[in-house]
């Protein structure tokens, strides 16, 4: 009975049901607003430089999934960036369900925001930048819903800071690759690692006080830096073309 109740609690506390409910809502909104959008684009032909940028972005997403979690518990500077103890990752039912709920609800919400913003700024200068910035801003602000559960506003604010930076990167990755499943995979792996770590906080950054602020702030800086890198050269043109393909299905 305890096992059954534990599973029920894990299901109810995840965002899986909310995420599933969001799917028909998005469908109905797009239909009523006459939006014909795609979720994924067919793989396009990239130049060598553009392909390298895409591969670097995918590699960064994989690295970032570990970095964001281990930055809290790293006892040395090398452990901040690469020297991670993978034995501390112990996946549980709760970790899997909560991670699935996150990609269903939060990424469904992100997709809705990106498409609506692309439509709203269609034909306007700065369409890509405004879509990425505002979708990430909304993604960060929804974390303040935690105040309804009496969450500490300082902790929630640090989470919002990270979510904004990570949201910029995920939106850029989506517009550059045209593959929403890459966004889902990146977010799922990040949350799964975070929920599966057996060790707590108190890493090297805690020596400087405000471990949450420093950790989430560092995560935001790296995500924003990668976002800017993906705008170098002619990469913005790729995003602009993919944006047009996404909302002109």
The pTM for the full model equals 0.90
In this prediction, residues 70-90 reach a mean pLDDT of 84
Residue 46 confidence (pLDDT) = 83
Q: Output the pLDDT for position 210.
A: 64
Under 8 Å CB-to-CB from 201, ≥6 apart: which residues? 72, 73, 211, 212
The vertex-72 CA angle with 145 and 153, nearest 5°, equals 25
Q: Residue 201 has what pLDDT?
A: 59
Residue 132, pLDDT above cutoff 60: yes
Map residue 84 onto helix, strand or coil.
coil
pLDDT computed for residue 73 by the predictor:
80
* pLDDT value for 171: 97
Task: Please give the pLDDT value at position 37.
Answer: 92
Average pLDDT over residues 162-174: 96
pLDDT at residue number 88:
87
Tokens 């899997």 correspond to 96
84 phi-psi bin (left φ>0, alpha ψ -120 to 50, beta other): beta
């Amino acid at each position: 009975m305890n096992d059954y109740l534990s599973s029920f609690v894990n299901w109810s506390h995840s965002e899986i049901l909310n995420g599933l409910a969001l799917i028909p809502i998005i469908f109905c909104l797009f239909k009523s607003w006459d939006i014909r959008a795609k979720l994924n684009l067919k793989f396009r032909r990239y130049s060598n430089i553009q392909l390298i940028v895409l591969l670097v972005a995918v590699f960064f997403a994989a690295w970032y999934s570990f970095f964001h979690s281990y930055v809290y518990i790293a006892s040395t500077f090398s452990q901040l960036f690469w020297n991670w103890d993978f034995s501390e990752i112990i996946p549980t039912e709760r970790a899997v369900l909560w991670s699935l709920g996150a990609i269903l609800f939060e990424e469904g919400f992100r997709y809705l925001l990106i498409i609506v913003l692309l439509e709203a700024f269609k034909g306007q200068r700065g369409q890509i930048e405004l879509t990425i910035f505002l979708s990430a801003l909304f993604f960060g602000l929804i974390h303040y819903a935690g105040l309804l559960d009496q969450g500490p506003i300082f902790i929630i604010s640090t989470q919002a800071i990270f979510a904004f930076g990570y949201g910029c990167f995920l939106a850029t990755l989506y517009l550059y690759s045209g593959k929403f499943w890459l966004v889902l995979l990146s977010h799922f792996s990040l949350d799964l690692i975070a929920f599966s770590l057996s060790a707590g906080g108190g890493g090297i950054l805690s020596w400087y006080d405000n471990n949450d602020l420093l950790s989430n702030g560092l995560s935001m800086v790296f995500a924003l830096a990668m976002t800017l890198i993906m705008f170098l050269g002619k990469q913005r043109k790729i995003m602009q073309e993919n944006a047009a393909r996404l909302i002109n299905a």
